[in-house]
Amino acid sequence: MKLAALFPRNTRVPAVHALYAALVEESRAPVFYELWGVPDTLDGRFEVVCLHAFLVLRRLKEADDAADFSQALFDLMFQDFDRNLREMGASDLGVGRQVKAMAQAFYGRIRAYERGLAGEEDLTGALKRNLYGTTAPEPAQLAAMADYLRRRAAALAATPVETLLAGRLPRTAMEA
C-alpha cells in the first residue's frame, strides 16, 4: 500500500476556497453599506460575511453528502478571520479568544436568522440586533435587508447543491 493511500487529498479544497471567495465578494457589495445602512466597519463587514455564510451553510445542510464540505467552509472562514486579526496587529494571545467570541457570535446569528426565516422570530429584529449592532437603520433599510435575506435564501434553496459543491454561488438578485 502506498503512503498516499493512507492520506487521501481532499479534492474539494479548491471548491471550498472558491465558494468562500464568492461569498466574501458578495458580502462586499456596496449596496449593503451605501443603501441599506450596514456599518462599513470591521464589525459590519464581519456581520455581512456571517450572514452570507449562514445562508450557504443552511443550504448545504440539506444535502446528505455536504457535511465535510460545510465543515471545511466553516473552518476556512474562521482561519480567514484569524489571519485578518493577526494582520491587523492583534496579539497572538488575544487572537484565540477573539476568534472564539466570533464563533459564538456566529452560532447565535445562525439561530436568530434561522428562526427569523422560519417565522418563529421577527427577522427584522434579529437583523437589527445583529447585523446593525449599535446603529439605528431606517425602517426602509431594515425592510430591504430582510427582503434580501429572504430572496437570497429562496435563490439558494432553488440552487442545486452540486453548484455550491463546485465552488459557485448563484447570481444575486442584485445582479439579475
- The helix or strand, by DSSP H or E, that contains position 24, with its residue range, turns out to be helix 13-27
- Cell 456596496 -> residue: 30
Residue 7: pLDDT above 60? no
89-96 long-range contacts, Cβ below 8 Å, gap at least 24?
none
Provide the whole-model pTM: 0.86
Please report which confidence band the pLDDT of residue 81 belongs to, taking 50, 70 and 90 as the band edges: confident
Output the nine-digit C-alpha cell for 66.
455536504
Residue 55: all three cell numbers together: 445562508
Q: Is the pLDDT of residue 176 over 50?
A: no
pLDDT tens digit sequence for 31-51: 999 999 999 988 899 999 999
Q: Where are the beta strands (DSSP E) in the chain?
A: none
Domain range annotation of the chain: 13-165
pLDDT in tens, 91-146: 666 667 776 877 888 888 999 999 999 999 899 999 999 999 889 999 999 999 99
Q: What is the mean pLDDT of residues 153-168?
A: 95
Work out the mean pLDDT of the chain and round it to a whole number: 86
Asked if residues 62 and 38 have their Cβ atoms less than 8 Å apart, the reply is no
Question: What is the torsional sign of CA 124, 129, 153, 111?
Answer: negative
